[in-house]
Structure 1
Amino acid sequence: MSELKQYSGKAMVNSWSKPFYDAFSESKSVQLYEVLYFCYLTFHSFLACVVNQLFSVLCC
Structure 2
Amino acid sequence: MGTWFSPLHVGIGSGVSQGLLVGLVVGAVAAVAVAWRREQIPAPTAHQKHAEPGAAPDTAI
Quickly name the TM-score band, shorter chain normalised.
Answer: 0.3 to 0.5
> Larger % of helix: which?
1
Rg (Cα) greater in structure: 2
Tell me the TM-score normalised to structure 1 length: 0.48
State the structure with bigger RCO (CA 8 A, min sep 6), 1 or 2: 1
Tell me the TM-score normalised to structure 2 length: 0.47
